[in-house]
Every structure is written in structure tokens, then in C-alpha cells.
Amino acid sequence: MAVKFNEETKTFTLQTSKSTYKMKVDSYGMLLHTYYGFPTDESDLSYLIAPDDHGFSGQVGEIIDDRTYSMDYFPLEYAVHGNSDFRISALRAGKKGDVPALDLRYVSHEIRQGKYSLPGLPALFAAPGEEDVSTLEITLKDAYEEIYVKLLYGVFEKKNVITRSAVIENRMEVPMELHRAMSMSLDYLDEELDLVHFYGKHVGERQFERRPLTHGITEIASVRGNSSHQHNPFVILCEKNATEDQGGCWGYSLLYSGSFRFRVEYDQLDSTRIVCGISDNEFVWDLAPGESFVTPEVVLTYTSEGFSDLSAGLHRAYMDNLIRSPWKYKKRPALVNNWEATYFDFNALKLVTIANHAADLGLDMLVLDDGWFGKRDNDKAGLGDWYVNERKLGCSLQDLATQINRMGLMFGIWVEPEMVNQDSDLYRKHPEWVLEIPGRMPNQARNQLVLDLSNREVIAFMKESLDAIIDSANVEYIKWDMNRCVDNIYSTANPGLSQGAIRHLYVLGLYEVQEHVLTRHPNLLMEGCNGGGGRFDAGMLYYVPQVWCSDNTDAIERLRIHYGTSFGYPMSAVGAHVSACPNHQNGRVVPFKTRGVCAMQGSFGYELDLSKLTEEEKAEAREQIRFYNENYDLIQQGTYYRLTSPFENHDYTAWSYVAPDQTRAILAAVHTDLHGNPKPRRVKLKGLQKDALYEADGTVYTGAALMQGGVVLPKPECNYDSYLICIRKIR
């Protein structure tokens, strides 16, 4: 098995195809972290710790005469508050009413085949027939109280992935409190590392940023109730020399869709600790006797082969072992969404007209966006009233869906079930169902309030409403949106809970509703959305195979958004559409061809009024749809390579897709700046067979030539010109 325990040295060794992860139980029962990196053997690497008296680094419990032994600089497997370790910690807890302090010691462990699961939370799973997956469960106990912590590890040997979670158990006869319950911590002895993270804003999500760690604490977090547009629950720590193709890098991805916290400390002895999990901002969670708390899962991966290899490994693991939708490998519909075509101003006639053009162009689906329900002619009213506005449509939802289906198109619909307008029947009937602080006027965003998903009545209402919508017509696709962050955090159903506990219960309620919908409607294609990319995280992929990547539909800005997203998430999960020009977000004008090239990086569609296309644009659209359909498997399932960075190369951005058997590839390039008397622009491909012969645009190359020499891009004919070059192996 990939997990081994040496009884003599008390060391655990977790092996994957490209990494080794090591721990040791020392003579005091402390669980030390001793190694995570390039594959090595089962040696006990605890000798690297080198105990010494470092001054003002105290001792814990019975260890009073050895000043060279201190939790304040020893590398720990799960760092806790209160055991003389003054660095950032993963767990701060204790008996209710007492000072929170813990001193965890090893009790036992269990190694078993297969992968653990987490009740009510997303987690990786072993795919059918995948027998190289193991679980390690280590039990720790506080030295003074009946407080237990189970550390869970899932080892996917061939996928080069390790997962972690923690379960905190109260076996006392009195209540306990959690003030911080993170999913993991991990210590590096003396690495000088860079941090890569993905910051952003609404319509500018997941922007790549790399910076060296400096002494002190660096934090990447969200307190917005969602994973957020501003930060993403995925970070990379990497060696200074790490590039796309070489160098050690460690990826940490939290499978969670709510407020989160990553903290990295570069400490007094140049050691590095990373801690991540649920945000502990105002977090207090009561555990009654016999109760336990389960933390979200973290996916860890290490490679010595650079960012491209790290990304490819995560992409494959998420496709095979995280996304459960039957649509993950099945061809998804190329669609048209009416939002930027009509906004709230539509009726059945307008929609059917768009659908007619969609069918003529060869599209597969029409998606009806916001405004079809309640008294919803703008964003100020009607949200929460999930009944069809037949006066506005001019027909029932079933009648509209039937008309769409008769054209050979599937029918999809937009919902925003977590939100409500004050001007709605739902709010007038149930004002107590919203998150609202008593005695204060609520903060609003987009004229919306947030429904209280810690309230069981609200959860039941959402389930019933969504079932009724889907059952009312042949709805085969749902776009699930959320257009504000979560604040006003007070629950009339749970008035004694802390704000942090309500935030977590909200996420658990969201997951429960989505699980219900997918269980009740197993063939439904559901796309996540949160004002675009505000909830683009690995936790959401457990429930949806794709997420609307950003409300910014400008092709050129999408280059940066897609680039950053690709580091941690498969491109098949990226919802991307061709939109109108001038672009509705920034006014930029981009050639229709280039808009298609950029949108094909993800799950492809259109977001414009098809009836207003010129004949030339219609011809271009038919070609885009044909190309996408013919190359769907390669684009969606091939290995995705970032060939240039839009943050470094301001002249052009290039990427490629390579088939798993390396027999086919597509090179895509977009020119982003023009110059007089331009120099030739050469792009080197990746992932081909060096000794094979490939044909590209009528010319034959060896794989080595394409990868080491590259191809010369055609000279751009206009601003933002683009190219798709198909490459196929001929021998």
C-alpha cells in the first residue's frame, strides 16, 4: 500500500508517484512532520530537526528539563494552541468556559484501502476500479481532557495527490468550544519559498501573483461567506527556481465554498508553516458531549516538474475523483444565454427568435436567464418568488420549453435560490427567513438580502422550489447564481450561534440543497455562478461540473482570468461565452474570431442576441461551433498547457491542448499588442512525442522541433487577431 508505518522507528511514510510525505511519533507521543517533497525511501528523517536551545522557546507538560525540545520550533503535523508553540495554529479549542489549550499526543492509527468520506462535505473519492487509493487515520488525544482529534489522510498514489481533514471529538461529559478548527497545518524545516496566489475582484477574478515569503505572517482569506472574487482557496508554495517546466512546487486546495483562511508564517528560524481551513473570524462552535466537528478537505500535491505538471495532476484528479456529474465526460451542450442579449426585457417571442437563430447556427441549448419569475422586471423586486411570470412571457414555462425543444434545442434556466428582495411575496410572508441583525437596517447589495441557510425551514423551501421549477418543464440545465456576499449575520432560528458558526452552517445548508437537487434530478447539468467567479472553488466542483468563470465576457481580459484559473482547476469547468462588441463590461472591440478562440478554452457558448449577427458573423459562428464540436474531446479532456503568461508577455498569449495519447494537439494564440516593424513571434509547444512526425497547417515537423524550436505565428492582420493551429501525428 501507499501508506506504511515502521513500528520500530514510529514513522509514517505516504508515497505517491511523485512525492513522499513523512511523519514520526516521538518518545513523548508528539506527532512530528518530517518531510514532504521529492520521492525518497522510508528512512526516519527526524534527525533533520536538530534540537537546540533557541531561547524563549518553552517546553510543554512534563518536558521541563530539556530546553532543546520545544514545540515552538519543532515541525508539527497538526499545530494546536496552548502547548508552548507561539506560531500560527490549526486548532484552538478546550472545555467550554475554560482557557482554550491543548496538548495532543498520539494514541493509535489505522491504515485501510479505499478513501474516507466526509458527511455533508465535498471530498475526493476513489474512481471505479481505482485500487491504489489508501486511507490513514491517526488518532491524537489531549493530555488532560477527553478531547480527541482524528487526522484523516487519503493517498492517491498514481494521481500524486494526498488529501487531509481533521475530526475533533468531544468525549468529555461537559461541552467544549472550538474557536479555530482548521483542516491542516504543515511545516517546512528551512525552505526559502515563494507564494503563488490568485487575487481579484468582480469581473477580474483569479489574477496570478507570485511573491517571496518574508518573515512574518502572510494571509489569503475571505470573510464574505463565499470563497469570493477577491481571493481563491488555492495557493502554491514553490522553490525560487520553479517555472512552468521545472522546480519544486506544492499545491494546497481547500474543498470549501465559504469563508476560508490560508496563513503562511516564515518564522524566527527561517522555517515555514502553512495552515488552512474554515475562516475562524468570529468562529465559535459548541460541541456537546459525544459530538464531533468535521473540517473540510484539503488537496495537497507536490511535483519537482514545475507548474504545468502540478496543474495537469490537479486537473486529472478533479475530473476523475471530485466531479460526480454524469456530464463530466459527456459532451456538454454549446449554448446561448439571453442575458446580455435582452437583460430583463424579453418575452417568449424574443426568446424563440433567438432560439431559431441558435438552431440554425448549430447550437444545442437556449438558457433563459434572470427575469422569468415573480414581478421581476428589474433587480429590485421578485427575487424569491419562484413562480413563472406568464404575463411577461406570454405563455407557461412548459409551453416555452416545448417550443425550444421542437427546434432540436435543450432548455435551461437561471435561478438564484439563496437570495430574496424585500419587495417580494416571500419576504412579506417570511421576513424571519433572512439574515438580518435585529434593530438595524440591513445592508443590501443588488437590492438583495440573504436567506438563512442555517434555518431548516429555509432549506426545505429551497428544495421544494427548485424541484417545482425543474418538474414544471423539460429543464435540463440550471445556472445557479448568487449575486451578493453574506453579511447581516444573525439567525432568528439560531439566535445563540456565533457569526462564524452561521457562516459554516450556511455552506453546509447550501451543499445539502445542491445534493438534494442532484439526487432528485441525476441527469441535470448544473452550472455554478456567484456574480461570475465569486464561488469558483474545488468544493463547488463536487456538485457542478462547470462554473461561470466571470461576469467579464471581454475576450482579452478573459485571457488573464483563464490563465490564473487554469493553475488549480480543469478548463472544462470554465464557463466561457462569446459576447457582443463593444463589450458590455469595458467597451472593447475584439474580432468575432478571437472572441470564439478565447471562449473555447472552457465550456463554450454565446451571450448575445444572435438575431443581430451579420451574415459574416453567422458564418464565423457556424465555423466556431463546428470546430468546437469536432475537437470537443481534445479541448475538454486534453492536457492544457500555458505556453505564455499574459502577465509577462504583453504581445501575445498562447496555450495548447494535447491529447492523452499525444497524437493530436491544438495551438491557440491571441495577439494583444501591435508594433510597427514587428519581430517574428515564436511559440514552443509542450507535451508531444519528440521522435514523432506531426503535420501542422500543411507543414511536417518532428515533435522535437515543435517543442524545442517552436512555430512562427502568422503576422497579425488586425488588433487582437488570433489563431487556432491543429496539429496531428502522422508517424
Sequence-separated (6 or more) residues with CB below 8 Å from residue 98: none
β-strands 335-337, 292-294: how paired? unpaired
Q: How far apart are CA 721 and CA 726, in angstroms?
A: 17
Q: Which helix (H) or strand (E) holds 648?
A: none
DSSP state of 610: G
Three-state SS for 391? Answer: helix
Contact 122, 322 (CB under 8 A): yes
- The residues with which 606 forms a beta bridge, in sequence order, are 336, 578
Q: Write the DSSP assignment of 300-358 as a string of letters.
A: EEEESBHHHHHHHHHHHHHHHHT---TTTTSPPPPEEESHHHHTT---HHHHHHHHHHH
Closest CA to 346 of 363, 365, 368, 314: 368
Contact between 75 and 189 (Cβ < 8 Å): yes
SS3 28: coil
Tell me if residue 617 is catalytic.
yes
Beta-carbon neighbour count of residue 675 at 10 Å? 8
Task: Please pick, among 416, 537, 554, 721, the residue that the annotation labels catalytic.
Answer: 537
Count Cα neighbours of 263 within 13 Å in the Cβ-side half-sphere. Answer: 21
Q: CB-based contacts of 234: which residues, under 8 Å, 6+ apart?
A: 197, 198, 251, 252, 253, 254, 537, 538, 567, 568, 569
Q: Which has the closest alpha carbon to 364: 331, 339, 394?
A: 331
Computed over its alpha carbons, how large is the radius of gyration of the chain?
Answer: 27
Among residues 26, 286, 609, 617, the one annotated as catalytic is 617
Find, among 351, 329, 397, 318, the residue nearest to 609 by Cα. Answer: 351
**Running DSSP on this structure, what letter comes out for residue 205?**
-
Q: Which residues contact 541 (CB under 8 A, 6 or more apart)?
A: 122, 318, 322, 323, 547, 569, 573
Return the C-alpha cell found at 485.
456576499
Instruction: Check residue 588 and report its DSSP letter.
Output: -
| CA dist., res. 492 & res. 436, Å (int) | 8
Using DSSP bridges, classify how beta strands 603-607 and 574-579 pair: parallel, antiparallel or unpaired: parallel
Cβ atoms of residues 638 and 658 within 8 Å: yes
Q: What residues are paired with 723 via a beta bridge?
A: 669
Cα separations in angstroms, 680 against 683, 704, 711 = 10, 20, 10
- Which cell numbers hold the place of 467? 424541484
Q: Comparing C-alpha atoms, which of 340, 334, 349 is closest to residue 408? A: 334
DSSP string, 90-134: SEEEEETTSPP---EEEEEEEEEES----TTS----PPTT---EE
**Can you give the three-state secondary structure of 235-293, one letter per residue?**
EEEEECCCCCCCECEEEEEECCCCCEEEEEEECCCCCEEEEEEECCCCCCEEECCCCEE
CA nearest 653: which of 699, 594, 607?
Answer: 594
Q: Give the residue numbers annotated as catalytic, written as ranges.
A: 537, 617
